[in-house]
């Protein structure tokens, strides 16, 4: 038995020597015990399997391969949102239903439709593919309106306040004592206030070449209608009455003989300055003496560098060119009934750090 035990002991010792005894264990460095950055292997060394991409959503999603422990997903949007609210003046009686239609600008194809009312004036079109659209508002006893807008990667979310404008209006014609149409004349409609001491904001329009004019979006009430302006009417002041916010009144405004003025702007920087900046400039005509004293009218510059005032009360005028990066410049002229005065106004750019 003793010999048998010794044999088993020797056999175990031999097996231990063959397999190798474990060497001494190295303790971690002191700095590793205090949260130092471990020595990770390089993911690009091939010792790691590559990252597994997640399931993708829309086709436009793009996956960027990063380190094995993180994957970035960028959503390349192709749709946007058009949202907003229908708003109105306090006196407006809201219709029972308001229809908002979104259509493509070129083809006029209807993309989406929404409804709104006084209890819920908000609307939202989503999702809407990038492109150019026309938003239409239609409602009973209100003006039809259209707004142009574009969705793109740079502009993905449009918020709009869409006004609800009643269809109450004053229409009419401006003419001479001989019944000839007078175009280009300002027309003003002022509502008489309901309470003493209150003031009303004037509604304005300009008569067309045919003499026809139209003032829209009017509140029910009584209006003073005149050519010119409220401080200096041209001809008589007429009274018009609107019973409801959908009413229409007709007025004929007869004006005394008027004159004309043709203004030309001369750009010191040459034709290129005109081609570049003509949309930024206007010319204002202010009557300083004569029958039209106090009359004032401002019109935009045309592409050829001219401004035409087809109907001005006779008198002395100051014609002022202004707007854009140009010095405000004034020239004087006299307007005579039945005749046209021509005035040239030189315009020079403002100095920007030096002479120009």
Residue 54 is assigned to a structural domain of this protein: no
Residue 6 is assigned to a structural domain of this protein: no
Mean pLDDT confidence for 152-160: 91
Alpha carbons 312 and 295: distance in angstroms, whole number? 8
Beta bridge partners of 240: 223
The answer to whether residues 154 and 174 belong to one domain is no
Q: Which two tokens stand for residue 185?
A: 């004349």
Residue 144 is assigned to a structural domain of this protein: yes
Per the structure, the count of domains in the chain is 3
Q: What CATH number did the domain enclosing 264 receive?
A: 2.60.40.1120
pLDDT tier, 265 (very low <50, low <70, confident <90, very high otherwise)? very high
pLDDT given for residue 190 in this prediction? 95
Instruction: Give me the residue label for tokens 């399997």.
Output: 49
The answer to whether residues 178 and 244 belong to one domain is yes
Instruction: Give me the residue label for tokens 């003793």.
Output: 2
Alpha carbons 289 and 284: distance in angstroms, whole number? 16
User: Angle CA(221)–CA(227)–CA(228) in degrees, nearest 5?
Assistant: 115
The domain boundary, picked from 163, 183, 199, lies at: 163
Residue 39 is assigned to a structural domain of this protein: no
Q: Which of 246, 265, 257 is nearest to 345 (CA)?
A: 265
pLDDT given for residue 9 in this prediction? 59
Better-scored residue on pLDDT, 8 or 132: 132
Residue 355 has pLDDT above 60, yes or no: no
pLDDT given for residue 67 in this prediction? 44
The answer to whether residues 99 and 144 belong to one domain is yes
The domain boundary, picked from 121, 137, 163, lies at: 163
Q: Is 348 exposed, middle or buried (0-12, 13-18, 19+ CB in 10 A)?
A: middle
Would you call 8 helix, strand, or coil by DSSP? helix
The answer to whether residues 269 and 308 belong to one domain is yes
Mean pLDDT confidence for 30-37: 47
Give the chain's mean pLDDT: 83
The answer to whether residues 175 and 249 belong to one domain is yes
71-113 per-position pLDDT tens digit: 433 356 789 999 999 999 999 999 999 999 999 999 999 999 9
Neighbours of 328 (CB within 10 A): 11
178-192 per-position pLDDT tens digit: 899 999 999 999 999
Alpha carbons 73 and 54: distance in angstroms, whole number? 9
Residue 65 has pLDDT above 90, yes or no: no
pLDDT given for residue 229 in this prediction? 86
pLDDT tier, 15 (very low <50, low <70, confident <90, very high otherwise)? low
Q: Which residues contact 229 (CB under 8 A, 6 or more apart)?
A: 186, 188, 202, 294, 295, 296
Domain that holds residue 242: 169-254
pLDDT tier, 195 (very low <50, low <70, confident <90, very high otherwise)? confident
Q: What CATH number did the domain enclosing 187 receive?
A: 2.60.40.10
Mean pLDDT confidence for 266-276: 92
The domain boundary, picked from 238, 254, 270, lies at: 254
The least confident of 241-250, 284-293, 304-313 is 284-293
Neighbours of 109 (CB within 10 A): 9
DSSP per-residue codes, 205-265 = EE--TTSEEEE-SPPSEEEEEEEE-SSSEEEEEEEEEESSTT-EEEEEEE----EEEEEEE
The answer to whether residues 250 and 264 belong to one domain is no
- Portion of the chain with pLDDT greater than 90, in percent: 66
Residue 128 is assigned to a structural domain of this protein: yes
Beta bridge partners of 262: 308, 342
Alpha carbons 31 and 29: distance in angstroms, whole number? 5
């Amino acid at each position: 038995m003793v010999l048998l035990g010794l044999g088993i002991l020797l056999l175990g010792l031999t097996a231990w020597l063959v397999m190798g005894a474990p060497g001494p264990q190295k303790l971690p460095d002191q700095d590793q015990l205090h949260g130092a950055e471990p020595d990770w292997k390089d993911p690009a060394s091939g010792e790691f399997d590559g990252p597994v991409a997640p399931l993708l959503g829309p086709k436009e999603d793009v996956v960027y391969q990063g380190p094995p422990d993180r994957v970035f997903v960028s959503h390349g949007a192709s749709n946007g949102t058009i949202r907003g609210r229908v708003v109105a003046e306090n006196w407006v009686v809201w219709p029972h239903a308001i229809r908002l239609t979104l259509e493509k600008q070129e083809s006029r194809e209807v993309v989406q439709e929404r409804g709104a009312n006084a209890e819920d004036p908000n609307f939202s079109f989503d999702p809407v593919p990038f492109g150019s659209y026309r938003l239409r508002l239609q409602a009973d006893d209100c003006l039809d309106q259209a707004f142009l807008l574009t969705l793109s990667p740079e502009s993905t979310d449009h918020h709009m306040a869409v006004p609800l404008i009643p269809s109450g209006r004053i229409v009419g014609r401006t003419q001479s004592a001989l019944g000839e149409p007078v175009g280009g004349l300002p027309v003003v409609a002022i509502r008489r206030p309901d309470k003493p001491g209150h003031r009303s904001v004037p509604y304005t329009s300009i008569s067309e070449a045919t003499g026809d004019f139209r003032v829209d979006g009017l509140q029910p009430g009584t209006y003073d209608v005149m050519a010119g302006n409220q401080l200096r009417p041209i001809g008589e002041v007429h009274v018009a009455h609107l019973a409801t916010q959908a009413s229409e009144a007709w007025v004929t405004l007869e004006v005394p003989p008027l004159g004309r003025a043709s203004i030309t702007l001369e750009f010191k920087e040459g034709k290129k300055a005109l081609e570049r900046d003509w949309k930024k400039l206007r010319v204002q005509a202010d009557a300083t003496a004569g029958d039209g004293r106090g009359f004032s009218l401002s019109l935009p510059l045309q592409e050829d560098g001219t401004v035409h005032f087809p109907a001005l009360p006779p008198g002395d005028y100051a014609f002022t060119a202004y707007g854009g990066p140009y010095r405000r410049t004034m020239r004087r002229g006299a307007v005579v009934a039945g005749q046209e005065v021509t005035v040239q106004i030189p315009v020079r750019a403002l100095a920007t750090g030096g002479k120009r």
